[in-house]
Amino acid sequence: MEKLLRFLNSADPNLLTTIPGVSRQIADDLVAARPFDTLESVLQVKGVNKKLISRIESTLEANQLEEQSNAITPVEEEAQLPEKSQPIKETGAADEKPSFGSRAGAALRSFVRALFKLIAILLILGVIGAALYFGLPVLRDRYIIPVEQNSVRVNQLETEVADLKDQLAQVNNRLASLDTSIEAHTASIEKLEEMQSLLEKQLKENNEATLIKLNQEVMMTRALDALARARLYLSQSNFGLAKQDVQSARDLLAELQAQTGDEALAQAISRLDLALNNLPAFPVVASGDLEIAWQILMTGKVAPSATPEPSPTITATVEPTLEVTATATP
């Protein structure tokens, strides 16, 4: 029994098929069902029955199959070695030159990869080009053009500022000239006041016609200087001082008109009264009345329709050069 089990556990399929009644399928099933510990486990293999087991056992008793089994077992073990070395043969085959089809497939795959790379590069370049095509106009409209416009506007403003500076310099020069003229008129008025004070003292001592005439000329000159300074104050919009000078000139002319009874002086005084009423509320109207009064005093004629614009640059001054040397005779 043990000999039979040992044979069934060690015999290869080819040896088993040499036994009458054992087909290739039964031999493969016996090999797959190994190992066998009892005959009952052998009988469980499909196609195996007690008759077949008896036939196998009778064959073993003839001492033929056992010897062949012992001789074939080492051969089977040796036959397994080439199977392990098959990968080496396959590796060697892999080292052989690839076929035309494999080379063509590899070339096609390389071409497809290169084509995909080229398409990806073209897409990236297209996106960049579209961004530049649509982005540059927006950038130009939103940033470049406003900056250029601002630069032009800044240049215009700089030019305007330069013009304003020039105008300011001219105004400053004009104001300086006006200040100089005002100072000149002020100095002249002060000299005339001193001269008139001296004449009044001499008139108290000696009431000569020459002294009276000279005093009237001094009074007229003082009035003209006061009116000239008032016109300068009006050009400076200094309406308060202008009104004071007009009032001083009006008082001098009224005193002079009382002495002479001159009709031109009366009309000039009426114009000065109008100017005083319009100051400081209506300086433009007052300037027109003041100009008419000035023309009347300068020409000695009435010109009611003449309304020339005031000229602030007029610096007419009358420098007194008359020296009074009158001596009183007892």
Q: Give Cβ neighbours of residue 307 (< 8 Å, ≥ 6 apart).
A: 288, 291, 292
Q: Which pLDDT value is given to residue 138?
A: 87
Q: Where are the domains of the chain?
A: 2-80, 174-299
Q: Which pLDDT value is given to residue 190?
A: 79
Q: Distance between CA 232 and CA 105 in Å, rounded?
A: 108
What is the 3-state secondary structure of 199-249? HHHHHHHCCCHHHHHHHHHHHHHHHHHHHHHHHHHHHCCCHHHHHHHHHHH
Q: Distance between CA 114 and CA 124 in Å, rounded?
A: 15
Phi first, then psi: what are they for 42, rounded to 5°? Answer: -70, -40
Q: Distance between CA 198 and CA 310 in Å, rounded?
A: 34
Residue whose entry in the numeric block shows the structure tokens 């008896």: 54
Q: Distance between CA 58 and CA 186 in Å, rounded?
A: 168
Q: Distance between CA 246 and CA 43 in Å, rounded?
A: 156
| 181 CB-side CA count, 13 A | 24
The answer, as to whether pTM is greater than 0.85, is no
Phi first, then psi: what are they for 290, rounded to 5°? Answer: -65, -35
Q: Which pLDDT value is given to residue 213?
A: 82
DSSP track, 151-185 = HHHHHHHHHHHHHHHHHHHHHHHHHHHHHHHHHHH
Fold observed for domain 174-299? Four Helix Bundle (Hemerythrin (Met), subunit A) (1.20.120)
The total of other beta-carbon atoms located within 10 Å of residue 192's CB is 24
The pLDDT averaged over each successive group of 10 residues in the chain (330 residues) is: 79 82 84 83 83 82 57 48 44 54 85 93 93 87 87 89 84 74 80 76 73 84 91 89 92 89 89 92 91 88 51 42 37
Q: Distance between CA 35 and CA 27 in Å, rounded?
A: 13
Q: Which pLDDT value is given to residue 285?
A: 92
The domain made up of 2-80 is a member of CATH 1.10.150 = yes
Q: Give Cβ neighbours of residue 286 (< 8 Å, ≥ 6 apart).
A: 234, 242, 246, 274, 275, 276, 278, 279
